[in-house]
Every structure is written in structure tokens, then in C-alpha cells.
Amino acid sequence: MTRWLTEAVPRGRVAAFRTVVYLFVAADLVIFTPWVRTRVSVPGDLYQPLLIGRLLPLPTPTETLVTVIFWALLLLALLAATGRAPRLLGWAVCALYLEWMIIAMSYGKVDHDRFGLLVALAVLPTAGRARHGDTTRTEAGGWALRVTQIAVICTYFLAAFAKLRFGGLDWLTGSVLARAIIRRGTDLADLIAQVPYLLIVAQFGIVAFELLSPVVFFLPPRWRHAMVGFFYSFHAVTIATITISFAPHLAAMTSFLPLERVRPLVWGRRLVRRGSPEAATTDAPQPRRAEVDPTPADPGPVAAGAGPALDDQAPVVGRPAGP
């Protein structure tokens, strides 16, 4: 079990995953959860902190507190994405983002798609230094990725458990997807909803896929990547039909992928070099030089009295000695 948990991975994969996660944190602040800043206008009496917020305890959000967290987290996440000071910046981002999520989820709604990302932020500082493209294998980095993978799969499995716990078998045969389509469905969802019993079949399929998601750990790498691709396709359909993105979960799920093969900066440099005048000059076909046979040509027999031979120092064959 310990060997499986700490299976070594290339440091380049850890570096790439770290960049993906921290860049997503920065994007999350300005794209997906900027509404957290509006919580300061809500009366403090409506702030009901999560259990962790009551245990620490954390202060009731104020405009100053939320603004400081926003700008500090944005700056530190961008710095952490470079891979510099992975422990110091990693722990700082983890703490600030956790507080950001506590503020966001303490007003009556808790999103379960944040679990894998929060676990990734908690374990990445333990992976140590890692450089993009480094093929050296690391067990510490392997442990960080494995724990994140477990959190991603627990998100699926525990979601199915919650459906059956609170909704029972009625969740499978009820109108869950129909209500979601009525509330936030797209034109594509309206077309799907017209097919008889298709939404019921989809609900059975969703629960089955979530319950079977741990199978991904028992598959060989090729099939594992195919199953992860199916996970992504499931979320693509979800976005296209009921506009739910699960973006933090998708960022954490990249822990399954061989990210060390993705080198956008290297690819960009190659494109720039190919488009530069120097590269065009270098790549242009050069004029072909005349080939010279290194073997001297045979001068043929030298007639008597015809002049010196190839070697001026050699005597001329047939010439009499003396004057």
C-alpha cells in the first residue's frame, strides 16, 4: 500500500501540475468566484461558518479582510505558479484559499467540486522543488499526486453515496435532471429532454459511473488515461446541457495525466525560431558544392623527354644521365 501511495513520478509532472493548480487559483478569483467579494454587503448575522471556521475560529468577513485576501492570494498564486519557494508560497496559498472558500461556502451552499483542489493545495508544498522537463523521479511528488487522485475519485464516489443517502432510489427514477434542465438547461438539453425515458437512463448512468469510478486505480496506464478522458467528456456534456462546469475538479483531475509531456513554452520557442529570419536563412537550401574526388587522377604514362613527372624531385624515366 505504501509503495502504491508513493509511486515515483517525474519531477516535470509535479512542476506542470503545480503550475496548472496555482494558475487555476488565480483564474478562480477573477472568473469563477469573484462573487465572494460581494459577501461583505450581506449582514453578518447570515454568516454561518463551516465547522472548520468555528473550530479555528475565524472572524466574520469584512470588506477589508476580503479585499486583502483577494489581492494577496492573487499575487501569491501567480508567484507560486513559477515554482519558486514551493513550500513557503505553497502553504501561504493553501491557507488563503481555504479561508476564501470558507467565506464563500458559509452562507448556505457548499460546492463539492472544490474538494480535490483543496487537497492538491494542501499536499503540493510537500513535493519539494521540481522543474519543468525534469525526468528525475520523486516519491514525494508521487505521493502528492496520488493523494490528489484519491480526493478526485472520492468526489465522485461520495457524490453517489450522498444521492442515495438523501434521495434514495427516487433519485434514480425521479425528475432531478428534468428540474436542472428547466432551471439552467441549454438548447441541446431541450432536445435531449424530448427523448422518452432518456433522462431516467442518464440518472442511472450517472450513479453507476460515480460508484465505479475507483476502478480507475486498477487499470493499466493506457486504459486509465482512457477512463480519465471519459470523465472529462462527462463534464463536457454537463457543461453543454446544464451549464455546470466543475472547473476546480477538472483542474485537480489533471493529476492523472502525464503533464510532463506538455511543454507550451518549449513549443512556443520552437515556433518563434521557425518564424525568425535567422531560422529561415538556416533552413533554406544551400547551393550544392562541386564534389571533388580526393583520389588524384592517373596522369598516364610519361613519355621520354616529355617533361617532369608529378613529383618534380623524381627522375624522369628514359632521360639519359649527364649533359
Q: What is the pLDDT of residues 82-124, one digit of tens each?
A: 999 999 999 999 999 999 999 999 988 888 899 999 999 999 9
Question: What residues contact residue 17 under an 8 Å CB cut-off, 6+ apart?
Answer: 120, 124, 145, 148, 254, 255, 259
**8 C-beta neighbours (distance < 10 Å), count:** 14
Q: What is the pTM of this model?
A: 0.81
**136-173 per-position pLDDT tens digit:** 999 999 999 999 999 999 999 999 999 999 999 999 99
Burial letters for 175-193: b for 16+ Cβ neighbours within 10 Å, e otherwise? Answer: ebbeebbeeebeeebeebb
* 57 prior amide bond cis, ω within 30: yes
Residue 314 is predicted with a pLDDT of 44
pLDDT top residue among 283 and 274? 274
- Nearest CA among 265, 255, 194 for reference residue 225: 255
Q: How large is the average pLDDT for residues 173-184?
A: 93
CA–CA separation, 133 and 88 (whole Å): 23
Helices 11-27 & 63-80 angle (0-180, nearest 10): 150
Give the number of other Cβ atoms within 10 Å of residue 291's Cβ: 6
Per-residue confidence (pLDDT) for residue 123, from 0 to 100: 97
CA distance 41 to 67: 13
pLDDT digits over 12-60, tens only? Answer: 999 999 999 999 999 999 999 999 998 878 887 788 888 888 898 888 8
Q: What is the pLDDT of residue 57?
A: 83
Domain spans of the chain, in order of start: 2-263
Q: What is the pLDDT of residue 165?
A: 93
